[in-house]
Amino acid sequence: MVAYLFSGQGSQYVGMGKDLYASFPESRAIFDRAQALLDFDLKQICFAGPEEQLKVTRISQPAIVTVSIAAYEAFKAKNKITPGYMAGLSLGEYSALIASGSLTFEDGIRLIKTRGELMDAAAKKYPGKMAAVIDLTVDKVKEICAASSAEIANLNCPGQIVISGKSEAIDKAIALCDAAGAKRVIPLEVSGAFHSSLMAEAAQGLKQALDKTNILAPAVPVISNYTALPQDRPEQIRENLVQQVRSAVKWEDAMRFILAKGITQFYEFGPGKVLKGLMRKIDPAAQVVNIEKKTDLERV
């Protein structure tokens, strides 16, 4: 049995999806459907940039989901594999819900568009930043967060924890992490303090959008970032997506749940190889195959 994983924000790059669009009718249809729903030229920005535009949250989020589902649909047309589980890192959870049949593609893109706009607005109203802490224990980072008012945003893999919060809180936390012996502390190129309490208003706005969206039970269990457990009821999915915006992403725990079911073969859909890199640190024996380009699909 296998599991499907979907890329999160930050994995975007100029040129992503271009050869999928040129090579596979299934991918082309996904891009065209997304383009019709968005108020910017998705194909132009994905295929040719500029990079600065592609980095903007309200653009990068629907762009990454579109590329992920374009890759997934091209793969699905040629491979009759039924996964045991699906999961996506933060934003990627929406891709997983679309792929599982819980959300239609159109409803998913509308939600992502709203989510990106709400997160952008919250980031402007409540400025903040994020940083990745390398090689400190979770307990030590929790202690530093308590002393600095920073918050844990992502528990990605052993030795990699992301913190989030007001700029002054992150600056203080970085200094404390350095003093505590962190191997590195890397400020992230993001526009706000995502997965923290500074996103509370974005979460409230997202709840209103989710309440109006038709959500079905997924055909394949989708692991929640918020609980690191499968979610199968529409009301449970709605609540978890609201909490996910303002709470820590438990990616390592989510992956360990799937691994504990005896699954060691994964397919990662979407731009970049971030999830493959995280899995190497969670379980080096697990196999992750990336599906993001024409050559990847030809090799499978």
* Active-site residue identified among 60, 90, 148, 196: 90
Residue ranges of E strands in the chain = 2-6, 85-88, 129-134, 151-157, 160-165, 184-187, 222-223, 230-231, 265-269, 287-291
Domain 2-124+196-299 indexed as CATH 3.40.366.10? yes
* Active-site residue identified among 7, 60, 68, 195: 195
Amino acid at 2: V
Catalytic site includes residue 164: no
Catalytic site includes residue 191: no
Per-residue pLDDT reduced to its tens digit, 179-228? 999 999 999 988 899 999 999 999 999 999 999 999 999 999 999 999 99
pLDDT (0 to 100) of residue 95:
98
pLDDT (0 to 100) of residue 189:
82
Give the CA count within 13 Å in the CB-facing half-sphere of 119. 28
* Dist CA 141 CA 62 (whole Å): 32
Residues of the chain with CATH 3.40.366.10: 2-124+196-299
From the CA atom positions of the chain, what is the Rg in Å? Answer: 18
Q: Is the dihedral of CA 155, 130, 5, 116 positive or negative?
A: positive
Percent of the chain's residues with pLDDT above 90: 95
Average pLDDT of the residues in 133-143: 97
pTM of the predicted model as reported, rounded to 2 decimal places? 0.96
Residue ranges of E strands in 58-212 = 85-88, 129-134, 151-157, 160-165, 184-187
DSSP annotation of 10 reads T
Q: pLDDT tier at 144 (50, 70, 90 boundaries)?
A: very high
Q: List Cβ neighbours of 103 (8 Å cut-off, separation of 6 or more).
A: 94, 97, 111, 213, 215, 216
Average pLDDT of the residues in 119-134: 96
3-state secondary structure string, 43-54?
A: HHHHHHCCHHHH
Q: pLDDT tier at 252 (50, 70, 90 boundaries)?
A: very high
Contact (CB, 8 A) for 86 and 99: yes
Architecture of domain 128-187: 2-Layer Sandwich (3.30)
Residues of the chain with CATH 3.30.70.250: 128-187
